[in-house]
Structure 1
Amino acid sequence: MPHDFNQQVIDEFRANDGRVGGPFEGGRLILLTTTGARSGAPHTTPLGYLPDGERIFVIASAGGAPRHPAWFHNLLADPHATVENGTFTYRARAEVLTGADREGVFARAVEADPGWAAYQAKTSRILPVVALTSVETGPPRFAGATPGATLTLVHDAFRRELATIRKELAATGSVLGAQLRINCLTLCLGLSNHHTGEDRMMFPALRHRWPELAPVLDRLDEEHRRIAALMEELRRTLSEPSAAPGGLRAEVERLTHELEAHLTYEEEHLLPVLDAMAG
């Protein structure tokens, strides 16, 4: 992509907590910052990505150009990079996939979006697939300036991912694709981790400091249990090789309805308290 276009996307991404328009609108996007192989200077590139549990994949397509993109050469020289997803910023280590690992992930990518196959057809080079895994050891670095803003960013990220999955389900045919299964499982993993953190840390701290919040927190605890049950049903469906998109759509809609109500209630009652804590 031209430098000026890249910079416009980067600026829009950072100004809007990961939300952009144009060709990336409604898709999964990160900013990947690598170290220039020759210059040693930071080099930031907007990239689409594929979820994969606790790591993500990016593909060095360069739109099917004859040469690998600069960011890929940079990772070959130094596999350490920084990833921004609009909610978190984290250090990651890159691994270039080879052999069957690369072929399997690329096949998933093509199944989810035939555009990857079109890029591969335009060039004689094999499009590299890179896994990015977080190497952070401390607490996550959030984009939010206050606890309340941070919680809103996390909630909005879940809302966007659910919207993307619902869009993908609406467009799928009679067979449930492998990458779509993984997208749903990755969403469940993220939600489970988020709710576990609230259950173990945030909610007990709020109960201790504001006893009058007990009815609100009791309701949120119960909603966590209902959402966990819906996610378990979703996981069971996804574990079945013959799972049909229609059944999965119904389960995703139930999860969306429950989660939207939960997030809205939590924001209504906890955002003022969280921001008061920071004041």
Structure 2
Amino acid sequence: MPNDFNQPIIDEFRANRGRMSGYFEGARLLLLTTTGARTGTPHTTPVGYLPDNGDRVLVIASAAGSARHPDWFHNLVAHPQVTVESGSFTYEARAVVLTGEERDEVFARAVEADPGWAAYQEKTTRVIPVVALHSLAQGGPGTINATSFGEAIKVVHDAFRRELSLIRAELASTASSSTTTLGAQLRVNCLTFCQGLHNHHTGEDTMLFPHIAEQHPTATPALTRLREEHERIATLVEELRETLTSTTDPAAVRTEVERLTTALEAHLTYEEEELIPLFDTAA
């Protein structure tokens, strides 16, 4: 069972699909459910995470610099299959403890993004573990935490909105600091978002939109417009990728992110206005 400190965080996280208030507002959190190393019972813990390219996210077993690894780390070492709740999605994952240069490179990225990780390492003699959580979901990001197709569209869209908002906030913080180069983790955040958006639009073009066209022929004009917008957004995504690989200037990246944000928000809003009523009517 979650402890008294964690339970309110878990409840708020689930109620608001990952959006938190107070101390954790704007934080990247997930709920990690592990199997007890000794008891075999499930334990759910809120943990911070780092986006990473590919099918994995990264978590750090800091325990705030405690002399001992957190219980959830011991659990996943004993039972590597875990459940991850991102707020919008729930999926099974395989936990892999990073070692050697890979661990050090990821931890350095984390410290660059948030010096608090370094402060935790300085408080303890243990090497703070970094764990990769590899999604085991097939054909998508996992189970969408929604009760209808219409709600699922909004939930997925809001996940993209939230991640883009976090990236924009991180870029804004570079403008208000003495930082003159783009951090490695922030670059990874942007590239991960780009890949996720590409995957989402590809799935819509190849699966969702053909299904809607078959069930609702009157939606054809809207679907045509949405596909055209996918192409324009894909161009903006590629321009952002090119900027990320060609410069470390945060201002240049901010410009491309703002262009993408404007186009994407208009696209998501139009899609919700046109498609959600179709599913609601069918329901």
**What TM-score does the superposition give when structure 1 sets the normalisation length?**
0.96
Counterpart check, 1:214 vs 2:230: no
Q: Using a 3 Å threshold, how does the CA distance of structure 1 residues 138 and 262 change in structure 2: closer, same or farther?
A: closer
1:74-113 residue pairs with structure 2 within 5 A? 74-113=75-114
1:92-171 residue pairs with structure 2 within 5 A? 92-137=93-138, 140-171=142-173
Counterpart check, 1:182 vs 2:218: no
CA distance in 2, matches of 1:71, 1:119: 17
Deviation of 1:208 after TM superposition, in Å, equals 1.6
Tell me which residue corresponds to 1:233.
239
CA distance in 1, matches of 2:200, 2:138: 17
Tell me which residue corresponds to 2:267.
262
The one-letter amino acid of 2:21's match is G
Tell me which residue corresponds to 1:251.
256
Q: Secondary structure, in 3 states, of the residue corresponding to 1:188?
A: helix
Deviation of 1:24 after TM superposition, in Å, equals 1.7
Deviation of 1:181 after TM superposition, in Å, equals 0.5
Counterpart check, 1:17 vs 2:23: no
The one-letter amino acid of 2:272's match is E
The one-letter amino acid of 1:265's match is Y
CA distance in 1, matches of 2:3, 2:215: 50
Counterpart check, 1:47 vs 2:53: no
Q: Secondary structure, in 3 states, of the residue corresponding to 1:30?
A: strand
The one-letter amino acid of 1:23's match is Y
1:185-234 deviation per Cα after TM superposition (whole angstroms, max 9, x unaligned): 00001101110010001111111221111111111111100100000001
Deviation of 1:136 after TM superposition, in Å, equals 2.4
1:8-66 deviation per Cα after TM superposition (whole angstroms, max 9, x unaligned): 00011111111111222111110000000011100000011000022100000011111
User: Which 5+ residue runs of structure 2 have no aligned equivalent?
Assistant: none
Tell me which residue corresponds to 2:65.
64
CA distance in 2, matches of 1:227, 1:115: 35
The one-letter amino acid of 1:110's match is V
CA distance in 2, matches of 1:190, 1:213: 25
Deviation of 1:135 after TM superposition, in Å, equals 1.4
Tell me which residue corresponds to 2:230.
224
CA distance in 2, matches of 1:270, 1:27: 31
Deviation of 1:179 after TM superposition, in Å, equals 0.4
User: Which 5+ residue runs of structure 1 have no aligned equivalent?
Assistant: none
Q: Secondary structure, in 3 states, of the residue corresponding to 2:5?
A: helix
Deviation of 1:138 after TM superposition, in Å, equals 6.3
CA distance in 2, matches of 1:132, 1:203: 31
CA RMSD of superposed structures (Å): 1.2
CA distance in 2, matches of 1:212, 1:136: 33
1:214-266 deviation per Cα after TM superposition (whole angstroms, max 9, x unaligned): 111111111100100000001111112x3310010000000000000000000
The one-letter amino acid of 1:206's match is I
The one-letter amino acid of 1:233's match is E
The one-letter amino acid of 1:128's match is P
Number of equivalent positions: 276
Counterpart check, 1:200 vs 2:206: yes
Q: Secondary structure, in 3 states, of the residue corresponding to 2:214?
A: helix
The one-letter amino acid of 1:269's match is E
Displaced runs of 4+ in structure 1, greater than 6 A? none
